[in-house]
Structure 1
Amino acid sequence: MGSSRAVTAVGIVGLGVISRQYLETLLSVDSVRIVAVADLDQDRAQAVAQDIDGCRALTTDELMAAPDVDIVLNLTIPEAHADVALAAIAAGKHVYGEKPLAATLADAERIVAAAAAAGVSVGSAPDTVLGTGVQTARAAIDEGLIGQPVSASATWISAGHESWHPHPDFYYLTGGGPLLDMGPYYVTSLVQLLGSVTAVSGAASRSRSTRTIGSGPREGEEIRVDVDTHLTGILHHASGALSTVTVSFDGVATRSAPIEVHGVEGSLVVPDPNTFSGEVLLRTRGGEGWQTMAPSAGYEDSGRGVGLVDLVAGSARASGEMGLHVLEIMTAIMSSAATGARETLRTTVERPGLVPLTPAASWRRD
């Protein structure tokens, strides 16, 4: 992406819980500057703006029309992702959004097509995969340390977000559920590690029709559940590797490694892809047990928003095309679970380039 200014000006739409993490990252980076924020709660927008030098609180429409906004950071709820992204594109602005790219595959396809037609860039979370955890594992695969990759597994189990989130409703509505909420971290990691997916098979279940909020001002309130809350998918990668992903709001906990990758000469344990770092373990054929790998790739000390920084720099490793492919994988898992048939995918994506080991001091201030 390009800008007429040396520093890319960012306008943020949506100032919920996740925005704090983005603000922490972006306010420490010299290549971007937050110039405007918008939220349905104007008081919240005003409160955020007054803490950022040169930032003003606007309505969403005003932010889209603002000539000094180069890129829109879309942190709205999933059901609003497409409307906000398409409005930004129509205004000639680049856009980077929280995952999933959109609540439906059709909307995600519209976003990518509209951006291509307008000549603007689209990026999509998760950008956790650009940290040293997943990228060090990726480097090990690229260097042939496990030989030909054969399989992988990804597992995330919890009792659901209503135990801690004060307003968990959207996790259980269309566009939510454990697959669209947590799945992007795991599926994106599997694509980063093993490449694009050509077909999937899925199964799903739903344990309850309502959930009870466990904390905050609405504690004890029941909310409805409109989506499946336990899903498993088998991913057929174009490389020939097979991977399995299981995500659930219907368990309690798991001791399974977040991600394991197995090749003919070795195996890798990959850290939690909802974080940016963590230990990568390698065990090779004939080796002496599991060895901890030193970080060898990825943005050090990274946080949410590094994908936007990467996009601004012209690398676009957390691209809209990646977000689209990952969303099709997930929606195909859900479709396959509903029909019992294997689903062939229409989209594909090039495996992004490896992130070289990038010291924190080279991309963000202390």
Structure 2
Amino acid sequence: MRPVGIGIIGCGNISAAYLKAARGFPVLDIRAVADQRREAAEMRGAEFGIPARSVEDLLADPAIEIVLNLTIPAAHVEVGLRILAAGKHAYGEKPLGIDYRDATRLTAEADRRGLRLGSAPDTFLGGAHQAARRFVDEGHLGQMVGGTAFMMGPGHERWHPDPDFYYKPGGGPMLDMGPYYITDLVNLLGPVSRVVGLSPEPRRERTITSEPRRGQLIQVEVPTHVAGALQFASGAVVTMVMSFDVAGHKHLPLEVYGTEGSLTVPDPNHFGGAPLFLRKGGEWEEVAVTEPFADGNYRSIGLADMASAIRRNRPHRASGALALHVLEVMEAFARSAETGAAITIETRPERPAPLSADPSLTGILEETI
């Protein structure tokens, strides 16, 4: 398969993970990196042996077919629109945008131009999550009833060198970590139909405890503890809590329940681990993970799947439609908390196809492992 030329805009922390993982996918040909801060692009380019260019030059290069948008969340829509206007397919980090209505500009523009739009997270394509998907699809849980999703910790100022944006519009635990959990739940259960949310008043200041800014204060502008429930179009109801205000907890990250059994799903922020299944009246047992991409950090598999989809003329899995749905769901928590009402979700994306369901991907998997 002819490799797809890739350019990257945004050379911050996450770019290193993408560049490392991309080396394992021959369908991806990383041709250039760019950043508004030229020195950041040059540093990352030197690290990985990739040319650093200006954003304008990168967008003008006819050899680049997909541009990977790794800018901060507040810039995702505007940079994405620039990519599409340049005639390139766009794939971005999560979330798709920080405002649902604004993000619809991206999906509309991609459709208008006949271009692909994709978005992280792609961890749901990891071996553990595909194994859980297979187990659900095989009917072992019976009729799906509900689930739980918990991500609770003290906040990212403990470890991130420059954590301010986590507490500005576009940040907070829901928009930062919610995409992993909600995307994986849609992978398992299908689209969400309704959301109810609550959120207490956040602390207005937080103290950075990481280096090099230890002791500095961050002004908080977003909810930092969000709780509520998702009702899926299938009828299943999932309780969800996302928090940067909790010292610790003993809940598992993700569980789904059916009439015939319960399934624990490994952390949706990672690719590996093993699901556990409890049959009604039985004992917990480990679900065998025979699917690939369960033994490392494969951040960029969604990009590789989109590149493969372009070459093979098939749908890609980490789609703009899926990301827009997840953004609408996340935004609904805040709207529900403000209004006291349940929020009906308008979007209804198709459930992403499992990796095993597409024979055309088999060759790509064999080529990339």
Query: If the TM-score is normalised by the length of the shorter chain, which range does it land in?
Result: over 0.9
1:341 positional shift = 0.7
Q: Write out per-residue CA displacement over residues 155-196 of structure 1, whole angstroms, 9 at most, x where no aligned residue.
A: 000000001111001000001000000000011111111110
Q: How does 1:81-230 map to 2 (within 5 A)?
A: 81-230=76-225
1:29 positional shift = 1.6
Structure 2 residue 317 is the aligned partner of structure 1 residue 354: no
Give the match for residue 55 of structure 2: 60
1:224 positional shift = 0.3
Give the match for residue 345 of structure 2: 345
SS in 2 for 1:129: helix
Q: 2:161, 2:201 → 1: CA distance?
A: 22
Q: Write out per-residue CA displacement over residues 124-145 of structure 1, whole angstroms, 9 at most, x where no aligned residue.
A: 1000110011111111110000
Structure 2 residue 20 is the aligned partner of structure 1 residue 24: yes
SS in 2 for 1:45: helix
Which 5+ residue runs of structure 2 have no aligned equivalent?
310-314
Equivalent AA in structure 1 for residue 242 of structure 2: V
Give the match for residue 294 of structure 1: 288
1:254 positional shift = 1.4
Contact map agreement 1:300 1:359 (CA 8 A) in 2: no
Give the match for residue 47 of structure 1: 43
1:27 positional shift = 1.9
Give the match for residue 257 of structure 1: 252
1:199 positional shift = 1.0
Greater displacement, 40-49 / 64-73: 40-49
Give the match for residue 8 of structure 2: 12
1:110 positional shift = 0.6
Shift in CA distance, 112/361, structure 1 to aligned 2, threshold 3 Å: closer
Structure 2 residue 68 is the aligned partner of structure 1 residue 73: yes
1:306 positional shift = 0.5
Q: 2:132, 2:23 → 1: CA distance?
A: 29
Q: Write out per-residue CA displacement over residues 294-343 of structure 1, whole angstroms, 9 at most, x where no aligned residue.
A: 11445344511000001111141111100000000000111101111111
Structure 2 residue 302 is the aligned partner of structure 1 residue 310: no
Greater displacement, 22-31 / 112-121: 22-31
SS in 2 for 1:20: helix
For normalisation by structure 2, the TM-score amounts to: 0.94
Q: 1:321, 1:239 → 2: CA distance?
A: 19
Q: 1:32, 1:312 → 2: CA distance?
A: 7
Shift in CA distance, 361/100, structure 1 to aligned 2, threshold 3 Å: closer
Q: 1:189, 1:359 → 2: CA distance?
A: 25
Equivalenced residues, count: 359
Q: 2:332, 2:291 → 1: CA distance?
A: 31
Equivalent AA in structure 1 for residue 20 of structure 2: E
Q: 1:239, 1:181 → 2: CA distance?
A: 26
Equivalent AA in structure 2 for residue 144 of structure 1: G
Give the match for residue 335 of structure 1: 335
Say which structure is richer in helix: 2
SS in 2 for 1:57: coil
Q: Write out per-residue CA displacement over residues 270-302 of structure 1, whole angstroms, 9 at most, x where no aligned residue.
A: 000000011100011232x10001114453445
Give the match for residue 364 of structure 1: 368
Equivalent AA in structure 2 for residue 320 of structure 1: G
Shift in CA distance, 120/46, structure 1 to aligned 2, threshold 3 Å: same
Shift in CA distance, 334/69, structure 1 to aligned 2, threshold 3 Å: same
SS in 1 for 2:68: strand
SS in 2 for 1:36: strand
Q: 2:103, 2:366 → 1: CA distance?
A: 33
For normalisation by structure 1, the TM-score amounts to: 0.94
1:46 positional shift = 1.4
SS in 2 for 1:313: helix
Shift in CA distance, 68/273, structure 1 to aligned 2, threshold 3 Å: same
Q: 2:336, 2:319 → 1: CA distance?
A: 26
Q: 1:52, 1:228 → 2: CA distance?
A: 37
Contact map agreement 2:172 2:224 (CA 8 A) in 1: yes
Contact map agreement 1:139 1:297 (CA 8 A) in 2: no
Structure 2 residue 235 is the aligned partner of structure 1 residue 231: no
Give the match for residue 245 of structure 1: 240
Q: 1:136, 1:348 → 2: CA distance?
A: 24
Shift in CA distance, 207/359, structure 1 to aligned 2, threshold 3 Å: farther
Contact map agreement 2:308 2:364 (CA 8 A) in 1: no
1:363 positional shift = 4.0
Equivalent AA in structure 2 for residue 323 of structure 1: A
Shift in CA distance, 269/243, structure 1 to aligned 2, threshold 3 Å: same
Give the match for residue 322 of structure 1: 322
1:78 positional shift = 0.2
SS in 1 for 2:199: strand
